[in-house]
Amino acid sequence: MTEWVQELVGKCEFDYIKQDRVFCCRSTGSKTRAYARIWGLGRIWQKTLNVEPSYIIEIISEKFDKLPKNQQDMVLIHELLHIPKNFSGALVPHKRKGGVNDRVVREIYQKVNNNR
């Protein structure tokens, strides 16, 4: 999964993302409607644990695995868009100017697929 995310980071030209600080995990049994979630390691954790900003993409296996490959790519792009350009450990919300939305995800996905 991590290699897949790293490949998408490169194809999408998300140069600000430190690939060695983005981790992936799979979970099962969740009641969420989400296919995946991203977790940022906030400043208090960074300072207390003396670590750099990091992110974890949690794949909800029973939901994500049923999607076709193109939809899985779009879900991962969506989660990566939550990482701010300053790579601080914070998350970009859905509802704000320049925030994460389906239109932006589709545009990036189309651009990546047209370059194949």
DSSP per position, 35-101: SEEEEE--HHHHHHHT----EEEEEEHHHHTTS-HHHHHHHHHHHHHTS-TT--S----SSSTT---
| The CATH classification of domain 2-111, taken from the options 3.30.200, 3.30.2010, 1.10.3470, 3.30.379 | 3.30.2010
Distance separating alpha carbons of residues 69 and 32, to the nearest angstrom:
21
Q: With a cut of 70, which residues of the chain have pLDDT below it?
A: 96-98, 115-116
pLDDT, one tens digit per residue, over 99-108 is 788 888 999 9
Query: What pLDDT sits at residue 114?
Result: 80
Structural domain spans, the chain: 2-111
